[in-house]
């Protein structure tokens, strides 16, 4: 099992480069691009809810406080594939397939659960650590804008953008009784490239104008989280040791406003269509600017009914109106608001049942409003999600195959409407031998 975890750690370290994005999204030219929110498989399948979610064998990426409840090492790897149908304000449609890395995460409890069982003594102050990488934002588009004027005739602008930002995180948490507090420090980095070619179609032998803007980002953000878990049936559990807990949890996490630095190289030049004659118009190198990331707050509820059923609800608010954009960016920002809700159901809570019975079935829905705005309208996104977690046990260790689907609609009225289906796939590996004290040689 440790061999498999070592391979995943290698992938994590090798993945510390900006993930390539192949999605076509015209609106990713604005702001910081299309924001990608870091969520665990359980959260992805339950509509994005999970601020209060915690489990002894699974780390919730969004809230570092969940590390305080972790008892088994958790290694996660996930990808997605997306089918997207875009429609502009003129009714023109385009179909697009894309795919990307979703997350690579590793979380480790600092006190081994087997040691505690053999010593017949639980850790008084459980702690956990995590590291991981996931996309922070993505940029990807390529299209041609045709126009005409009375003086120059037909003109075209070929615009392209590619790249994105990633977030590498280190997290830690400390739990006292049923209250866990956590901190995640994220390093945001990556590269974005914007380019444009302007052509005069009706003037023979005219030069084409080229513009290239290469941008590098680097900075930090900080997430503070807390989770309080209240067991509702303590007395019944004392009377009957076979009864599982009914737990109602309250969770919250805050992102502190910070600045991310951007360095850009801008080149503008002309080139004759049928010759290699190039004339540089403008060139600047290492132009520094910054973006002010906003304050973000999420609160949530999580009810776990004896490991058989669970229900989640999150409310999220982000002050993007107070944020600022780096030099060369476009678009207007609006405060972001979202509601995410979902649940799960497991037919059998024993590990010896048939696979369909011991699997966990998940569902959820979400509504999001904000971040980008145009003409008084804000970006809206809503949809549903379904998923399943299928557990497999080998060599006394646990592996979970996570499969899910998300269907939704994203729309900025008067601009672009997107109808999409996203296929989610990932694997979770659990290992309880880290930090294990050997009793015998």
Beta-carbon contacts of 95 under 8 Å, excluding residues fewer than 6 positions away, are 83, 84, 85, 86
Looking at beta carbons, which pairs linking 231-240 to residues 24 or more positions away fall under 8 Å? 231/178
pLDDT of 205-234, one tens digit each? 678 889 999 999 999 999 999 999 999 998
DSSP, res 69: G
What confidence score (pLDDT) does residue 350 get? 78
Residues in the chain where the model's pLDDT stays below 50: 1-21, 440-441
Nearest alpha-carbon partner for 46 in 411, 352, 303, 293: 303
Q: How many CB atoms are closer than 10 A to CB 240?
A: 8
Q: How many CB atoms are closer than 10 A to CB 144?
A: 11
Q: How far apart are CA 261 and CA 94, in angstroms?
A: 35
188: CATH = 2.40.160
- Torsion sign across C-alpha atoms 47, 256, 52, 391: positive
CB 65 within 8 A of CB 173: yes
Assigned domain for 150 exists:
yes
Assigned domain for 418 exists:
no
What confidence score (pLDDT) does residue 15 get? 46
pTM of the model: 0.89
Tokens, residue 422? 């996203």
- What are 187's strand-pairing partners? 168, 220
CB 379 within 8 A of CB 411: yes
Beta-carbon contacts of 233 under 8 Å, excluding residues fewer than 6 positions away, are 243, 245, 246
SS3 (DSSP) at 202: coil
Assigned domain for 35 exists:
yes
Assigned domain for 347 exists:
yes
SS3 (DSSP) at 213: strand
Q: How do strand 207-231 and strand 246-256 relate by DSSP bridges?
A: antiparallel
What confidence score (pLDDT) does residue 440 get? 47
Angle at 373 between CA 368 and CA 377, to 5 degrees: 80
User: How many structural domains compose the chain?
Assistant: 1
Report the helix count and the strand count for the chain, using DSSP H and E: 5, 17
Instruction: List the domain range (segments joined by +) for residue 243.
Output: 2-75+100-398+426-431
Assigned domain for 388 exists:
yes
Assigned domain for 301 exists:
yes
What confidence score (pLDDT) does residue 437 get? 57
DSSP 165-225: EEEEEEEEEEEETTEEEEEEEEEEEEEEEEEEEEEETTSTTPEEEEEEEEEEEEEEEEEEE
Assigned domain for 112 exists:
yes
Identify the helix (H) or strand (E) that includes residue 264.
strand 259-272
Assigned domain for 421 exists:
no
pLDDT of 391-440, one tens digit each? 998 776 789 999 999 999 999 887 889 999 999 999 999 887 665 555 54
């Amino acid at each position: 099992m440790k061999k498999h975890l070592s391979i995943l750690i290698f992938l994590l370290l090798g993945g510390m480069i900006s993930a390539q994005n192949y999605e076509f999204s015209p609106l990713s030219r604005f702001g910081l691009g299309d924001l990608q929110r870091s969520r665990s498989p359980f959260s992805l399948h339950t509509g994005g809810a999970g601020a209060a979610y915690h489990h002894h064998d699974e780390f919730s990426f969004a809230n570092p406080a969940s590390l305080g409840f972790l008892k088994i090492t958790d290694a996660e790897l996930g990808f997605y594939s997306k089918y997207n149908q875009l429609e502009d304000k003129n009714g023109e449609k385009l179909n697009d397939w894309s795919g990307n890395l979703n997350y690579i995460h590793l979380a480790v409890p600092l006190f081994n659960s087997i040691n505690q069982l053999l010593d017949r003594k639980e850790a008084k102050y459980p702690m956990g650590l995590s590291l991981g990488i996931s996309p922070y934002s993505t940029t990807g588009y390529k299209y041609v804008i045709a126009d005409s004027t009375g003086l120059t005739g037909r003109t075209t602008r070929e615009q392209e953008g590619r790249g994105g930002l990633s977030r590498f995180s280190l997290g830690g948490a400390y739990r006292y009784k049923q209250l866990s507090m956590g901190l995640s420090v994220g390093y945001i980095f990556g590269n974005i490239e914007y380019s444009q070619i302007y052509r005069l179609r009706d003037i023979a032998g005219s030069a084409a104008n080229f513009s290239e803007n290469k941008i590098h980002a680097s900075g930090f953000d900080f997430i503070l989280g807390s989770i309080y878990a209240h067991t509702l049936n303590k007395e019944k559990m004392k009377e009957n040791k076979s009864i599982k807990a009914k737990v109602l949890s309250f969770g919250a996490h805050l992102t502190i406003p910070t600045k991310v630095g951007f360095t850009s190289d801008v080149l503008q030049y002309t080139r004759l269509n049928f010759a290699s004659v190039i004339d540089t118009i403008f060139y600047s190198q290492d132009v520094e600017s910054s973006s002010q990331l906003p304050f973000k707050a999420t609160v949530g509820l999580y009810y776990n009914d004896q490991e058989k059923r669970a229900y989640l609800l999150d409310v999220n608010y982000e002050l993007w109106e107070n944020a600022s954009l780096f030099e060369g960016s476009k678009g207007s920002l609006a405060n972001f608001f979202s509601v995410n809700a979902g649940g799960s159901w497991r037919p059998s809570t024993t590990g010896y049942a048939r696979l369909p019975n011991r699997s966990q079935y998940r569902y959820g829905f979400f509504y999001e409003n904000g971040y980008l705005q145009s003409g008084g309208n804000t970006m809206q996104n809503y949809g549903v999600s379904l998923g399943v977690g299928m557990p497999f046990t080998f060599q006394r260790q646990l592996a979970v195959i996570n499969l899910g689907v998300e269907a939704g609609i994203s729309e900025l009225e008067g601009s672009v409407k997107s109808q999409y289906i996203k296929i989610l796939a990932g694997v979770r590996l659990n290992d309880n031998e880290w930090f294990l004290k050997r009793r015998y040689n």
